[in-house]
Structure 1
Amino acid sequence: MAEAHQAVGFQFTVTSDGIDLHLSREVLKHIYLSGVTSWTKRAIRFKNGILTGVYPASPSSLLIVVIAIMSTIYARIDPSLGMIDTIKRTIGYMTVQTQTVLSAILFSTGLWLSLILMLRYILKALLSYHAWIFESHGKISFCTKLWLSLVKMFSGRRPLLYSFQTSLPRLPVPSVDDTITRYLESVRPLLDDEQYNQMEVVANDFKKDQAPKLQKYLILKSWWATNYVSDWWEEYIYLRGRSPIMVNSNFYSMDLLYVTPTHRQAARAGNVVHAMLQYRRKLERGEHAPLRALGVVPMCSYQMERMFNTTRIPGIETDFVRHLSDRKHLVVYHKGRFFKVWLYYGGRHLWPSELETQFQRILDDTTEPQPGELKLAALTAGNRVPWARARLKYFSQGVNKVSLEAIETSAFFLSLDDEVHGYDPDQLRSLDLYAKSLLHGKCYDRWFDKSFTLIAYKNGKLGVNAEHSWADAPIIGHMWEYVLATDCFHLGYTEEGHCKGDINKGLPPPTKLQWDIPLECQEVIEESYMVAKVIADDVDFHGCLFDEFGKGLIKKSRTSPDAFIQLALQLAQFRDKGEFCLTYEASMTRMFREGRTETVRSCTSESTAFVRAMEDKNTSAQKLDLFRKAADKHQNMYRLAMTGSGIDRHLFCLYIMSKYLSIDSPFLKQVLSEPWRLSTSQTPQQQLNMVDIKKFPRYVGAGGGFGPVADDGYGVSYIIIGENLITFHISSKFSSPETDSYRFGQNIRQAMLDIRALFDQKDKEKEKEILHTTFLCSVTLQHCFPTAGHH
């Protein structure tokens, strides 16, 4: 054991001559180096904390202000309007010169802090301006140009990850009138006249009777809380759910699509774990650059705080998220055994070659799982209440408590999978099986409660399964981009596929976690496994690579790629089921402090008119005109959602408030019970720009996905990769006779091609018009100058 190995460095024996001490120089060296690393880390955190605390000013600016004030005093000028003299009288019991210097310093410090607050207030006011997002692409007004210049000016230089947090505006509470109007507009295409009239009556009754009181309390909460949505969203949408989080909540991210840097499982895991530790170190110090729209407008970084050292802990009524500041170990699962691996040696991170050695030791370990150990992680895949009760009863003392604590306090969880997965163009369903493995695996080989589980396959492919309550997909995507780029372009491998660097044979081996799981607990584990297996077996997944065209061609048609794809999804949905449905598209609200997501209701009157036109015998010009209107409508709704004027989060919070106040609202009940039969999300690409995909076109990620939201619906995640590739991750349930993920994928492909054909037809008509005009001009010239051809 690692602990025992370290313990032998300090021994003593009691003899007749006294106490005989035996000290190991090697161990003392490691203790010293560990202490140096620890204090260095604290010093860097302290320094970065000060830099973030005074941003957009800098600590050196305090010295400038003090010198400036002192200079004015010696020039017999009082810029404080008598405040320095007042401070001098308050101090007392000092020489006159000391009083003068000290009062000047105190005044300067107060002035400096006031200037910082003023700068932050100005920046917050500037960041509350959102008219720029509603301007047409490529057209920037003078006001927006001026605003961008001011934001750059007040944003300071070299911001750290959390520098902008206190300057971000609060998420505003929309007016009830606006929300109700937009809601009724969103359901109009889904209801007949009688249903719509009934809904209108119920909505107006709510707006008149119950909404004013609920809205007042919600506005009060928005003044008091940092974000009026996020805490309730995390608690009631995620943590209070008692059903399994596997498939229903957790999501996944895939490895590079075409490239596998090495086929050695331990080596790939070694490089990637080391890259994650580098990312974590920069994250804990706040050294990552904040994400900024247009390279100027900062996004909230709050969700990133809990990426590592975080676990969702099960409870009887509600779960909670446990986050620790720093953990120095990792827990690895392989063939039913759990191993604890230390990530530090001599006060530093293990090198990739050292991690490869540790992981290879685990792969070479032939011991059998202990009774109940093989499927232990199925507890995290089943229903939450049995897991919470089992945790209290069987894992609250003894070796079980120690081992479970090791898992829950680890930096993250690693599964060394014994299967082979990845995209293979020669195998039709390879992407489908890869996605299912990442989403649920065998139901017992991922710890679904950890913030994320890193999965390393036998052939060197990777993936991540992430728990959803603590953060949204772009947060994991940010880390994953950094890790894959660092793995391939900075760390690299030897010609034999091993990690670079020397092998340290003196490392203590991984520690095998010990368990004492009684038969009653084993029965609970098996029940959780059976519940999870039914869910996993019901997932119908299809990965669809669309490479006919991509972002490049869509932008040439002067259309938003996201709007283009959303309209294609509406067309595919109608062709698949013969009807329209309530559609969910996730958009982010991270321009506000602690913002998470908002819903864009993609099924609109404009989109349904376009889809019906596509299925009727309308001309291409008519279809294209309807497409433009639907795309513009979608873009406007997306922008409203991003700027805090969405529908669903406001209605959700009004519903929670009604529950607290014991107000029964038929309108809110109906709104919150409506099923999202088409749930969609776009995976962001190149948040960091660490890889030039024009130069390295094969080093692109495949994106990620999630399980179906409705029993009879589809979940669709898509990623726009470069200029010529879009990947769709489609999920549904085998148990539904109405859905088929592969069929829906084919409908999406055809819908994309049919919409492109509209633009192709327009281009052909333009060419014909140009040719016809050219022909008429030629005929006219020949008529006017009949002998021109002879000269």
Structure 2
Amino acid sequence: MPVLKKATLEKSASKGSEETEELPKLPVPPLQQTMDMYLKCMKHLVSEEQYKKSKAIVEKFIMPGGVGEMLQQKLLERQEKTENWIHQYWLDDMYLNNRLPLPVNSSPAVIFARHNFQDANDQLRFTANLISGVLDYKTLLDMHALPVDFARGQLSGQPMCMKQYYGLFSSYRLPGPSKDTLVAQESSIMPEPEHIIVACNNQFFVLDVVINFRRLSEGDLFTQLKKIVRMAENEDERLPPIGLLTSDGRAEWSQAREVLMKDSTNRDSLDMIERCMCLVCLDAPTGLELNEANRALQLLHGGGYDKNGGNRWYDKPMQFVVGRDGVCGTICEHSPFDGIVLVQCTEHLLKYMKNSPKKLVRADSVSELPAPRRLRWKCSPEIQGHLASSAEKLQRIVNNLDFTVYRFKGYGKEFIKKQKMSPDAFIQISLQLAFYRCHRKLVPTYESASIRRFRMGRVDNIRSSTAEALAFVKAMMDGKSTISDSEKMEYLRSAIAAQTNYTILAITGMAIDNHLLALRELAREHCKELPEVFTDEMYLSSNRFILSTSQVPTTMEMFCCYGPVVPNGYGACYNPQPESILFCISSFRDCKETSSDTFAKAVEESLTAMGDLCVQHNTKAQTPVKERKSQQENGHRT
């Protein structure tokens, strides 16, 4: 690494830590407050008998001088010693301890508008332009020149922690037998990556993007990509689809990686992938109708081992997919950063590509560049066995995912704002009503809330299935019509207020999930056995998020999606637009209780009913009292 670059990096790293230090530390909520809130969140979701039992367990836990007070004290000590008391516990619990395969279960995708490539060269010009955008963004990151994000929505205007951005192109999720490791390349030991990996025909190629201290131009990149495509078409050189191994369960992939590492050729290839900036996957045509749902599936799992499922390396945080048939987007390994950071980066890239001059890239622009290098693999019979098993499991994931993209066109966030309600809270209540329509109950619900107002902040959980939401959905589903529209409106406003209040608790570091997780992990470290509060059925069920939701807003022509987090659950990602709302609904076919199409229909019915309620209420509110009395006397419905 040249001296100048190293000095710049050291300077920018110190600048980054200064930015972080200016933010406040995440507060520790009072123990009594969290335990009271926990009981309140769960009371209406469990049986009376279960609630009484759990309440007694909680009371024992928080007794003066008891285990709860001891753990709270340990947590306050941890807050003093660390930048962020929840960060590592949360990262381990949410991602690194999870043994499920990354596709669908963990890795979200962003789907771009479909592109109409005239020919293979057109696809490669687009890819060269995209890579150039990545390098442009990486330069901003390396110089710490990215403008600071400020909070939007509730309590807007506060500066946000920017640390997650620095994991976009310089981290890697290393599989382990019982726990993964998130490897950061920003340390002084690891040089900055100066290459990307291009996947084509399930083969992997090293594309150096900096040669002789000079960043490659788009013309250079186009030339190199053409060479890669030619090399990938050579049947004599074709190697097994090693990328399939990264789609397996984490323990299985860790075991296969250990076998691969025994050979020096494989070690070199793994090293090049693990140290790269990002992956670019040049996908073969899918052969499917390219509606929004099918394009999303290509990003989420690649269509299986016989399509583009092996043309991936799921451990790398950023993979850009450019399909010959115009299916384009990003799939990300989620552990280093949250959805909004992914979206901000992606929006930057799309704007860069839109604004870059559409000059014709000449194939012969630079001929003296060294050819990109194919990564080689030595595959023992044991590895062949792992590959067959990985392929079969990926196919099961593909067949099991029940996914739909639904756009509600009745109204959008502008209508909701006119009701003087938060669009996010309104949509969350509609999801509760939709779930109740399908299942006649409410369940613990996850909605991610950013805590980036604090140093190294990631997310906490907004528990949307409030008692007030349950009262509203029951009123809306009341078959006897004994509840008036004005009463229903009161229930709705109460549910919106409860959702909004909990959102504010979450974003100010006062929600319950992170606090309870930290107390549980400290109990593992300091108690002989886990306190009963953490083994109680109510606590266990409070962490089974049958409804996993997230608002991922963007003004660009793209959308985000992900899979459910439990076998009998739904994933519901939504993007409120001014005049419409886009939903990506996922569930698993194995579960006979769930159906993504049925849930999407219930969302439509719920939003329609809630919109009608608001309109009817407004109409009544605007009708003079005398006129209303006259209409009622004449038996007219207003």
TM-score when normalising by structure 2: 0.90
Q: Deviation per CA, 1:764-784, whole angstroms, max 9, x where unpaired?
A: 2245338949x99xxxxxxxx
Q: State the distance in 2 between where 1:247 and 1:228 align.
A: 29
SS for the counterpart of 2:177 is: coil
Q: Could you tell me which residue of structure 2 aligns to residue 739 of structure 1? A: 594
Q: Could you tell me which residue of structure 1 aligns to residue 189 of structure 2? A: none
Q: State the distance in 2 between where 1:545 and 1:379 align.
A: 35
SS for the counterpart of 2:623 is: helix
SS for the counterpart of 1:541 is: strand
Say which of 248, 252, 256 aligns to 1:390: 256
Shift of 1:599: 0.6
Q: Deviation per CA, 1:324-349, whole angstroms, max 9, x where unpaired?
A: 24111111111121111110234222
Say which of 448, 463, 470 aligns to 2:336: 470
Structure 2 unaligned runs (5+)? 187-191, 632-638
Say which of 706, 710, 717 aligns to 2:566: 710
Q: State the distance in 2 between where 1:710 and 1:389 align.
A: 25
1:268-279 pair list within 5 angstroms: 268-279=126-137
Shift of 1:249: 1.3
Q: Could you tell me which residue of structure 1 aligns to residue 445 of structure 2? A: 583
Shift of 1:505: 2.8
SS for the counterpart of 1:234 is: helix
1:246-645 pair list within 5 angstroms: 246-256=103-113, 264-293=122-151, 296-325=157-186, 326-365=192-231, 366-368=233-235, 373-420=239-286, 430-441=291-302, 442=304, 443-488=309-354, 490-494=355-359, 499=361, 503-616=365-478, 617=481, 618-645=483-510
Q: Is the 8 A contact 1:274 1:349 kept in 2?
A: no
SS for the counterpart of 1:253 is: strand
Q: Deviation per CA, 1:715-773, whole angstroms, max 9, x where unpaired?
A: 1111123x123211111000111111111111111211111111111232245338949
Amino acid at match of 1:633: A
Shift of 1:632: 0.7
Amino acid at match of 1:445: N
Q: State the distance in 1 between where 2:183 and 2:504 align.
A: 34
Q: 1:271 to 1:771 in 2, by over 3 A?
A: farther
Q: Could you tell me which residue of structure 2 aligns to residue 726 of structure 1? A: 581
Q: State the distance in 2 between where 1:369 and 1:463 align.
A: 31
1:670-685 pair list within 5 angstroms: 670=536, 671-674=539-542, 675-685=544-554
Amino acid at match of 1:648: D
Shift of 1:262: 7.7
Q: 1:665 to 1:536 in 2, by over 3 A?
A: farther
Shift of 1:639: 0.4
Q: Could you tell me which residue of structure 2 aligns to residue 167 of structure 1? A: 22
Q: State the distance in 1 between where 2:108 and 2:435 align.
A: 23
Shift of 1:413: 1.0
SS for the counterpart of 1:717 is: strand
Q: Does residue 656 of the first structure (1) align with residue 521 of the second (2)?
A: yes
Bigger Cα displacement from structure 2, 725-734 vs 661-670:
661-670
Q: State the distance in 2 between where 1:275 and 1:377 align.
A: 25
SS for the counterpart of 2:196 is: strand
Shift of 1:595: 0.8
Bigger Cα Rg = 1
Amino acid at match of 2:620: E
Say which of 195, 200, 223 aligns to 2:80: 223
Q: Is the 8 A contact 1:413 1:454 kept in 2?
A: yes
Amino acid at match of 1:710: V
Q: Is the 8 A contact 2:20 2:161 kept in 1?
A: yes
Amino acid at match of 1:475: V
Q: 1:673 to 1:767 in 2, by over 3 A?
A: closer
Bigger Cα displacement from structure 2, 641-650 vs 664-673:
664-673
Q: 1:463 to 1:756 in 2, by over 3 A?
A: same
Q: State the distance in 2 between where 1:757 and 1:477 align.
A: 33
SS for the counterpart of 1:465 is: strand
Q: Is the 8 A contact 2:202 2:312 kept in 1?
A: no
Q: State the distance in 2 between where 1:411 and 1:485 align.
A: 20
Q: Does residue 753 of the first structure (1) align with residue 608 of the second (2)?
A: yes
Q: Deviation per CA, 1:240-294, whole angstroms, max 9, x where unpaired?
A: 22232222111111114x7769872211111111101110111011001010126
Q: Which has the higher contact order (CA 8 A, sep 6+)?
A: 2
Amino acid at match of 1:286: H
Say which of 37, 45, 51 aligns to 1:190: 45
Amino acid at match of 1:731: S
Q: Is the 8 A contact 2:89 2:517 kept in 1?
A: no
Amino acid at match of 2:545: W
Q: Is the 8 A contact 2:206 2:372 kept in 1?
A: yes
Q: Is the 8 A contact 1:310 1:412 kept in 2?
A: no
Q: State the distance in 2 between where 1:223 and 1:421 align.
A: 57
Q: State the distance in 2 between where 1:433 and 1:460 align.
A: 12
Q: State the distance in 2 between where 1:40 and 1:279 align.
A: 20
Amino acid at match of 2:423: P
Q: State the distance in 2 between where 1:382 and 1:168 align.
A: 39
Q: 1:503 to 1:740 in 2, by over 3 A?
A: same
Q: 1:188 to 1:260 in 2, by over 3 A?
A: farther
Q: Deviation per CA, 1:109-165, whole angstroms, max 9, x where unpaired?
A: xxxxxxxxxxxxxxxxxxxxxxxxxxxxxxxxxxxxxxxxxxxxxxxxxxxx66531
Shift of 1:544: 1.1
Q: State the distance in 2 between where 1:368 and 1:225 align.
A: 54
Q: Could you tell me which residue of structure 2 aligns to residue 180 of structure 1? A: 35
Q: Is the 8 A contact 1:572 1:747 kept in 2?
A: yes
Shift of 1:363: 2.6
Say which of 639, 646, 650 aligns to 2:511: 646
TM-score when normalising by structure 1: 0.73
Shift of 1:41: 3.7
SS for the counterpart of 1:243 is: coil
Q: State the distance in 2 between where 1:599 and 1:591 align.
A: 15
Q: State the distance in 1 between where 2:287 and 2:127 align.
A: 15
Q: Is the 8 A contact 2:202 2:243 kept in 1?
A: no
What's the % identity of the aligned pairs? Answer: 28
Q: Is the 8 A contact 2:520 2:530 kept in 1?
A: no
Q: 1:761 to 1:663 in 2, by over 3 A?
A: same
Q: State the distance in 2 between where 1:267 and 1:672 align.
A: 51
Q: Deviation per CA, 1:420-449, whole angstroms, max 9, x where unpaired?
A: 599xxxx6x822211221111133221110
Amino acid at match of 1:271: N
Shift of 1:703: 2.1
Shift of 1:623: 1.0
Q: 1:509 to 1:770 in 2, by over 3 A?
A: farther
Give RMSD over aligned pairs. Answer: 2.5
